[in-house]
Amino acid sequence: MQRTIADLCIGEGGHIEECALECIPLNLLEMGCLPGVEVTLLQVAPLLDPLYIQVNGSHLAIRRDLAKQINIAN
């Protein structure tokens, strides 16, 4: 089974896979969420949505639905 950003535990990271490119909205691509880049889960909101991630030194909040669409590799 393929892992996604939503499957990460706090403090865990992975690299965005190439096949995830079509699922990532343009605004996240512009912020550095590109294939091959490492992403780390920093925090999960109390109601499990949104997820706070670190990408290229920036902290971003993304919805769990979107996080489930972005495949990662360890």
CATH no., domain 3-73: 2.30.30.90
21 closest CA partner among 61, 72, 74, 58:
72
- Torsion angle defined by CA atoms of residues 39, 43, 48 and 49, in that order, rounded to the nearest 10 degrees: -60
% of residues, the chain, pLDDT over 70: 96
Tokens of 15: 């690299």
Better-scored residue on pLDDT, 35 or 11: 11
Cβ pair 73, 15 in contact under 8 A: yes
What value, to the nearest 5°, has the Cα angle with vertex 59 and ends 2 and 3?
Answer: 5
Query: pLDDT tens digits, residue range 23-52?
Result: 788 888 888 888 899 999 999 999 999 999
